[in-house]
Structure 1
Amino acid sequence: MDDEAARTEERSVGDVDLTTWRTRAGRASATVWTRLGDRFGALPLLIVTLVIGIGIAAVCTWIASEVYDAVREADDVAVLDRPVLDWMMTLRSPGLDTAVTWWTNVAGTIGMPIVALGFLVGFTIQRRAWTPVVLLVAASTGSLLMTIAGKDLIGRARPPLADAVPPYEHSPSFPSGHTLNATVVVGTIVYLLLLRESRRVTRVWTVVLGAVFVVSIGLSRVYLGHHWLTDVLAAWALGLAWLALVITAHRLYLTAVHRRPGDVHRAS
């Protein structure tokens, strides 16, 4: 889709105009982005920005791994890992174990791509635009690379198999890939849905359901004994950071499509 066709895309969430930047840094970035968009095209620039963002996300993952090492050595937040897992184990029952295993698989290596693909097809057909494709593919790629990088950098062992519910997993524990991918993919889907929803109650329920899904997936990983609590906390933090970068990139894209450099400076 070319930039002219992109002008029909939604650019607000409720009463919030995403092309309005209220900080000096935001306005400056938007001005530069708009000028570059005029020269090279907004969509190609969005793709380049997201690729750069993936690199930034990888650096954030490295920083998170260093912070995690410091926390583990100080025995700070990590001191909660064992007690929380022990408490989760007291809640288990055969029926609940089966239900939670089914639920956590929705965010697994098979379930999450199916969810993303389903929404991707729907967005593409409904909007007749490439932007949702670019955002979801970039978001998913970034979260996958962050998961791989984090596991390779830390190499943390998962909870003992004796404390886990089968089927067992043997890859490194930090961060929780299910949690990270669910946070990013579902967060991106929620954001794209909010752009289409005009009723406040619908927007609220969309955010609530998305948040419940992400939180429940993270808790399911601890319940099943497949991850420690700190693995899940780190995944939520990394996922939200990457999601913020993806949304910011899209806001800059919308600004380049709908505004001119002078308009950005006049926005308050």
Structure 2
Amino acid sequence: MATDKPSRTTTPVRTPRHFSLENEHSATLGSQLVLYLVSLVLALGGAASFFITLGSVLHDEGIAGLDEPLGDWFVGHRTVWLTAVMTVLARLFGPVAMPVIVLVVTAGWSLLTRRLWRPLLLAGAMISGVILTEIAAHLVGRSRPASSLMMLGPDGTSSFPSGHVVGTANFLLVGAYLVASRFSKAWASIVAFGAALAVIVAEAASRLYLGYHWFTDTVGSVCLSLVLLAVVIFLDVSRARVPTRPGARG
């Protein structure tokens, strides 16, 4: 007499391809504490440097004394090929192209990985950078260099801080952290942050070269981005999976 037995050929239940807000990053307690310390140092150092730079700008002292000499130096070294390179940097990290790049990167990242945590951190840092830049620019109201020095047309908005540099630094520094932090090799972090810093310096130089910003504008911008990077690291580490016992996997 036949008996009913559980079938071993039943159709397996497919896992739905849904988007997840889970942080896929795991960290030991020791590495988590180190990253907390790094975020604290970046936050305090970035904030202190920003306000020191702002004080120099408002009182026209300290490193603000480098503004005119450096601006004159860049203007005096303009060449055809350098102008072409600096113009590309200005357009690439400008208010038109940068939002499109961020949208493409975050949307593509989310669709490919089906994970939203890191793309949202990157997008949040970018949006926060725009808001903080606009607030600071409105409050400080610093005049830009003479319009006769501006190579891509006049700009009468506030000079401090530089939106181009804040956007570039946020995108590259936060992006470098979010990618490199998932690799266990130290060289990944060195390469990622080294490349990010090189492009940030180039973009900052382009703002002086093209005649739109003072040196201290770019310094304050990078300091602001370091604070936002600290916030991203803190949030990311806070949600990292920590093994409950030595040797356990997250």
Q: Please tell me whether Structure 1 or Structure 2 has the larger radius of gyration of its CA atoms.
A: 2
TM-score (norm 2): 0.76
Which residue does 1:22 correspond to in 2? 33
Matched, 1:142 2:128: yes
Deviation at 1:125, TM superposition (A): 2.8
Structure 2 CA distance, aligned partners of 1:66 and 1:153? 16
| Structure 1: gaps (5+ residues) | 28-55, 264-268
Deviation at 1:178, TM superposition (A): 0.5
Instruction: Spell out, residue by residue over 1:150-170, the C-alpha distance to the aligned partner (whole angstroms, 9 max, x if none).
Output: 110100000001222122322
Which residue does 1:44 correspond to in 2? none
Which residue does 1:11 correspond to in 2? 26
Q: 1:65 to 1:171 in 2, by over 3 A?
A: farther
Deviation at 1:19, TM superposition (A): 7.1
Within the candidate set 145, 148, 167, 1:181 is matched to 167
Query: Structure 1: which amino acid aligns with 2:179?
Result: L
Structure 1 CA distance, aligned partners of 2:130 and 2:196? 19
Matched, 1:253 2:239: yes
Contact 1:11/1:18 (8 A) holds in 2: no
Within the candidate set 191, 199, 218, 2:177 is matched to 191
Contact 2:129/2:228 (8 A) holds in 1: yes
Deviation at 1:175, TM superposition (A): 0.2
Identity %: 24
Count of residues paired in the alignment: 221
Matched, 1:223 2:209: yes
Structure 2 CA distance, aligned partners of 1:240 and 1:228? 19
Instruction: Spell out, residue by residue over 1:2-39, the C-alpha distance to the aligned partner (whole angstroms, 9 max, x if none).
Output: 57xx36x1335xxxx4874437xx59xxxxxxxxxxxx
Q: 1:86 to 1:175 in 2, by over 3 A?
A: same
Structure 2 CA distance, aligned partners of 1:152 and 1:78? 19
Instruction: Spell out, residue by residue over 1:180-224, the C-alpha distance to the aligned partner (whole angstroms, 9 max, x if none).
Output: 111112111111221344554444322221111111111110111
Pairing of 1:70-109 with structure 2 (within 5 A): 71-73=57-59, 75-109=61-95
Contact 1:65/1:153 (8 A) holds in 2: no
Which residue does 2:115 correspond to in 1? 129
Structure 1 CA distance, aligned partners of 2:58 and 2:26? 43
Which residue does 2:199 correspond to in 1? 213
Structure 1 CA distance, aligned partners of 2:177 and 2:87? 27
